[in-house]
Amino acid sequence: MFVFAAFCLALPMTANGQRVKKKKKKPSATKIETKTTTIQSMIVIDQPTTVIRPGRPTRGLGIKDSKLVVPANTLRIALDYDHDGRADYVVFNPATNNWQIIKSSGGTVNTPFGFRSTDYFTPGDFDGDGIGDLAVFRDTEHKWYRMLSTTGLTVSDDFGATGDEPVARDYDGDGKTDLAVVHTANGVKTWTIKSSITGTTTSTAWGVTADATAPGDYDGDGKFDIAVKRAGRTPTSVATFIIRRAVDGVQVNIDWGLGTDLVVPGDYDGDGTTDVAVLREGKLQTDPLTWIIKRSIDGAAVVVNFGTTGTDYNAQNDYDGDGKTDITVWNNTTATFFVMGSTAGAISQPLGAPNDYPVASYDTH
C-alpha cells in the first residue's frame, strides 16, 4: 500500500465541468491562514473494478456539468427521495429527459424533468423537509425550476444570468438549499447567493477565471463555505484550495492535488465536515481513477484506486446511510453503480442504459 499528499447537468458544458461569469468585485480584506499540508499518515487502497469510461459525463453526450457540494448530510439529502437517510441511485436519460430513481427503501420512479440541451442539474432540498427535490438551472432563461417534494408542484425563479455556473448549497445553515451562482467577468469570479432565511442577496468576489469552484462546509459549522481550487504554475505543481470560511470570513489555503485533478467533495470520514478531495484520471483509458482524500478528522491522506478512466463516472454519495460519503462510480458500458460502501462494503446496482448520466456527478468540479 502507498499514499501521498499532496458536475445541473447542463446538459452542454466545458471540459472539466465548469462554467462561470458575473459582476466583478475585489475581495474584501481577509485574514489568510495558509496550510501547507503535511501528510501525517497515508493509506492507499487498491479497489479495481470492471469499469471503463470515455471521459467526463458530458463528453459525447452534449450534456453540461453540474456543481453542488454539501456539508455532511446535504449531498445525501439532495438525492434522498424517500427520507430514509440513504442516497438513492439516480440517472438522467438525455434522449427522454427522464430522471430514473431507485429508492433505497424500495421502488422505482421515472419522472421527466428538464431539458438536455439547456439545463444544469441542481438537486437539493429547497423546501427544507429533508427530502431531495428535482431541480435544474435553465441557462438560456437563467431560471431555476424545482419540483418541491412537499407539494409536488414545480416552482421557478429568475436568478443569475446566462452563462453563470449554478452552485446551490445551504450557505446560511437553515437546512434549505439556497439559490446561488458564480459569474465570471474581467478575470474575477463573483458568487451571488440568495439566502432562504432572509430572501436577501449577497455578492462576494472569490477566485479568478481559471479557478474551479469547490464549495463545501470545510469548518463543520453547518454552513457552506465559498471556495475554489487554483492550479499551480506547472502541470506538476500542487494545486491550492482557497476557502472563505462562512463563520468569520477568514481565508484558509490548503495545498492538495494537481491542477488537472477534479474536485470531488464529500464527508468521507463522517465527522460532519467536507473533506478536501480530488479525483485523478489516468493517461490511458484503462488506467484506474485515483481518489485522493485529506481526512478532516485527522489530516491523514487516503489514496484509493477505484474505477477506470475509460468509462466510469464518479458518483460519490452516502448510499449505505452511515453518514460517510462512499467512493462510487457509474459504469457507462454496463450502466451499473459500483459502490465502495464505508459500512456495507462493496455494492453494485444496475440502473439506466449506456450514455445516461448519473445525477450524483453534479457535485464534480
Residue 345: per-residue pLDDT: 87
Residue 73: per-residue pLDDT: 53
Tracing cell 501547507 back to the chain, one arrives at: 36
CA distances from 283 to 55, 115, 260 (A): 11, 33, 12
Q: Spell out the residues 6+ positions from residue 248 whose beta carbon is closer than 8 angstroms to its own.
A: none
Q: What letter does residue 214 receive in the DSSP assignment?
A: -
Q: How far apart are CA 258 and CA 86, in angstroms?
A: 31
Q: In what order do the strands lie in the sheet with 276-280?
A: 42-47, 301-308, 288-294, 276-280, 262-263
Residue 169: per-residue pLDDT: 95
Residues listed for the chain: 365
- Residue 266 has, within 13 A of its CA and on its CB side, a CA count of 32
Q: How far apart are CA 10 and CA 137, in angstroms?
A: 8
Residue 75: per-residue pLDDT: 74
Q: Going residue by residue through the chain (365 aa), what tens digit of pLDDT does each one get?
A: 333 333 333 333 333 333 222 333 333 334 444 443 333 333 444 443 332 222 233 322 233 333 333 344 567 889 999 999 999 999 999 999 999 999 999 999 999 999 988 999 999 999 999 999 999 999 999 999 999 999 999 999 999 999 999 999 999 999 999 999 999 999 999 999 999 999 999 999 999 999 999 999 999 999 999 999 999 999 899 999 999 999 999 999 999 999 999 999 999 999 999 999 999 999 999 999 999 999 999 999 999 999 999 999 999 999 999 999 999 999 999 999 999 988 888 999 999 999 999 999 988 88
Q: Spell out the residues 6+ positions from residue 203 whose beta carbon is closer than 8 angstroms to its own.
A: 22, 23, 25, 190, 191, 192, 193
Read off the pTM: 0.81
As a dihedral over the C-alpha atoms of residue 112, residue 169, residue 11, residue 98, rounded to 10 degrees, the angle is -10
Which amino acid does the sequence have at 320? Answer: D
Give Cα 1 distance to the centre of its chain: 28
Q: How far apart are CA 118 and CA 108, in angstroms?
A: 26
Residue 76: per-residue pLDDT: 83
Burial class (CB in 10 A: 0-12, 13-18, 19+), 363: buried
Return the H-helix or E-strand segment holding 76.
Answer: helix 74-78
Structure-block grid coordinates of residue 87: 442516497
Give Cα 298 distance to the centre of its chain: 23
Could you report the per-residue pLDDT of 139-189, keeping only the tens digit for each?
999 999 999 999 999 999 999 999 999 999 999 999 999 999 999 999 999
Phi, psi (5° rounding) for residue 58?
-85, -15
Q: What letter does residue 22 receive in the DSSP assignment?
A: -
